[in-house]
Amino acid sequence: MSSDDFSIRVEGLSKRYEIYARPVDRLKQMILPRVQRGLHWPARAWFSEFWALHDVSFNVRKGETVGIVGRNGSGKSTLLQMICGTLTPTLGTVAVNGRVAALLELGAGFNPEFTGRENVRLSGLLYGLSEQELKARFDAILDFAEIGEFIDQPVKTYSSGMYVRLAFAVAINVSPDVLVLDEALSVGDEAFQRKCFARIDQIRASGATVLFVSHAAGTVIELCNRALLLDRGELLTEGSPKHVVSRYQKLLYSPVDKHESIREHIKAGKETDALEAGTGPPAPIAAGAADNGSGKRWDASSFEEGLIPKSTFRYDSSGASIFDPHIETLDGRRVNILQPQCEYVYAYRVRFEWTASNVRCGMLIRTVTGLELAGCITSWRGESLPDVEAGSELEVRFLFPCLFASGAYFLNAGVQGSFGEENVYLDRWIDGAMFKVIHEPGRLATTTMDLDIKPAIRVVNREAA
């Protein structure tokens, strides 16, 4: 890659922090090593080392949009700060070609005592704009930020949304060659986030480079040309966003005792899983599942240990308890990695401590953001089970087609019933189970729901075409 082709070049980048157990140890470290050297005593360190980043190397071409994913504490923000020049590497080098605009964290670079107008001027000058350029772009910044008269108030009085709107408005209006974004955009509301992503698209179209950190797998896949996976300060793998995100999710949801082996497999390039085009030994497609008409399609669904929601919330039960929510194939095999266009069963059991009447059960499928995609109840109220005796168990099953694009989804479960005249929830689970849908090459869906829409296009006016 010639020097004219790259935007960012990172070679052997490492960052070490000194961790002190007590404040007094920091003072000892400042003074005693000099005394030890003067007396020719063996040197002693009064701190422990923590390497936030270790020997990371990669290049980013001009015009690329690169996503960086990894668990909390993996070194993503440290890497961005060194690329932006706000943090000095311990080892290695960073070279950036062109003007960098960054939104690393909420209000980074703003003086809380200054007004919004003063902070815009300060930030613009730090980005290298002249007074004339700032004056010409100020109206565009104010219009994008949508904070109105608050522009002349100290930013310490701003809400978190106002902070991030103003910071982003400045960053995108300095004509950056490299735009660096951390998770700060998650602070804004949906409408503002959509506005930001639309502007990011414009910046990409202009030929600028975008470096983007996010925990949202769908956003990385949709926005980026390439992705990097960091873990414990190391660069485990890089490649296509789907390749990297699948390994990130494998690492994220794996049991703790398997983290190390999965890390080593990813680093060695040996990690293959059901998220990658249905690799591995194929199993015959379950009876009743859709196929492509050739009869040769295989069901690549599987069960992944550790794929358990961290957001499960259970309401106080009242006379009944839901247990064992899970997904099965039509032949009864438990799975949580699903293949598009196949049919599955969401099942759970309900144990009754009290006798209840008018019993009915339900389910709901939601996205990571909580959007309700699909739901069902076993009956309407007038057609529910009239009586269920104490000590009884219900087996509840919902057959559903997997009409979802690749990604992660969450399942609710609930049971309602009556004690006397009152109809109440006897038990209710929010995010009681989860599943992921694998990416299937060749599928053309562009949204969360995949209805297997069949596109067609033809030239009707060859001269116009």
Q: Give the integer Cα–Cα distance in Å for 64 and 230.
A: 19
294 part of a folded domain: yes
pLDDT score of 465 more than 80: no
Q: What confidence score (pLDDT) does residue 172 get?
A: 85
215 and 308 in a single domain? The answer is no
pLDDT at position 290 = 42
Non-local (6+) Cβ contacts of 61 within 8 A are: 1, 5, 6, 7, 209
- Residue 271, pLDDT > 60, answer no
pLDDT tens for each residue of 314-368: 888 888 999 999 999 999 999 999 988 899 999 999 999 988 888 999 999 988 7
Domain boundary among 194, 214, 234: 234
Percent of the chain scoring above 70 in pLDDT? 81
> Do 189 and 286 belong to one domain?
no
Q: Tell which residue, 414, 430, 434, has the closest CA to residue 312.
A: 430
93 plus 220 within the same structural domain? yes
Q: Is there a domain that residue 269 lies in? A: no
Of 202, 234, 266, the position where a domain reaches its end is 234
| 222 and 286 fall within a common domain | no
Give domain status of residue 277, yes or no: no
**Residue 200 near residue 220 (C-beta atoms within 8 A):** no
Residues 11 and 98 in one domain: yes
More confident residue, 452 or 329: 329
If one counts the domains in the chain, the total is 2
Pairing of strands 385-388, 337-338: unpaired
Residue 107 has pLDDT above 60, yes or no: no
- Split at pLDDT 50, 70, 90, the class of 121 is very high
Please report the pLDDT score of residue 220 as a whole number. 83
Q: What CATH number is associated with residue 389?
A: 2.70.50.60
pLDDT of residue 184: 60
| Assigned domain for 252 exists | no
**pLDDT confidence bin for 400, thresholds 50/70/90:** very high
pTM of model > 0.85: no
Write down the pLDDT at residue 408: 84
Asked whether residue 289 carries a pLDDT value surpassing 60, the answer given is no
Structural domain ending residue among the three candidates 201, 217, 234: 234
210, part of any domain: yes
Give the range with max mean pLDDT: 210-214, 306-310, 409-413.
409-413
256 located within any domain: no
Question: Residue 103 is part of a domain; what is its CATH number?
Answer: 3.40.50.300
Say which range, 157-166, 295-304, 393-402, has the weakest mean pLDDT: 295-304
DSSP letters spanning 25-50 = HHHHHHHHHHHHHHTTPPP--SSEEE
> 163 and 34, same structural domain?
yes
Q: Which residue has the higher pLDDT, 275 or 131?
A: 131
| Residue 280 to residue 59: CA distance in whole angstroms | 32
Instruction: Say how far apart CA 138 and CA 275 lie, in whole Å.
Output: 46
Judge contact between 144 and 222, C-beta under 8 A: no
**pLDDT band for position 117 (50/70/90)?**
very high
Domain-embedded: residue 272: no
Query: Based on the domain organization, do 290 and 200 belong to the same domain?
Result: no
67 pLDDT tier (thresholds 50, 70, 90) = very high
Please write the tens of the pLDDT for every residue from 365-383. Answer: 988 767 788 999 888 766 7
**Same-domain pairing of 216 and 301:** no
Write the burial class of residue 459 (CB in 10 Å: 0-12 exposed, 13-18 middle, 19+ buried).
Answer: exposed
Query: What pLDDT is stored for residue 94 in this prediction?
Result: 94
Question: Tens digits of per-residue pLDDT, 124-168?
Answer: 888 888 899 999 999 999 988 888 889 999 989 988 778 888 888
> Which residue matches tokens 């249905």?
278
Is it the case that residue 293 has pLDDT exceeding 60?
no
Assess contact for 179 and 186: CB atoms under 8 A: no
pLDDT score at 29 = 78
Instruction: Looking at mean pLDDT, say which of 106-110, 118-122, 170-174 comes out highest.
Output: 118-122
- Residues 212 and 220: beta-carbon distance below 8 Å: yes
Residue 260 maps to a domain = no
Rounded-to-5 percentages of helix, strand, coil across the chain: 30, 35, 40
- Same domain (yes/no): 389, 455: yes
The overall average pLDDT reported for the chain is 81
Residue 95: pLDDT band with limits 50, 70, 90? very high
Q: 202: domain range?
A: 6-234
Answer whether residue 292 shows pLDDT above 50. no
Instruction: Over range 197-219, report the average pLDDT.
Output: 82
| 294 and 150, same domain (yes or no) | no
166 shares its domain with 312: no
| 342 and 215 both lie in a single domain | no
More confident residue, 121 or 33: 121
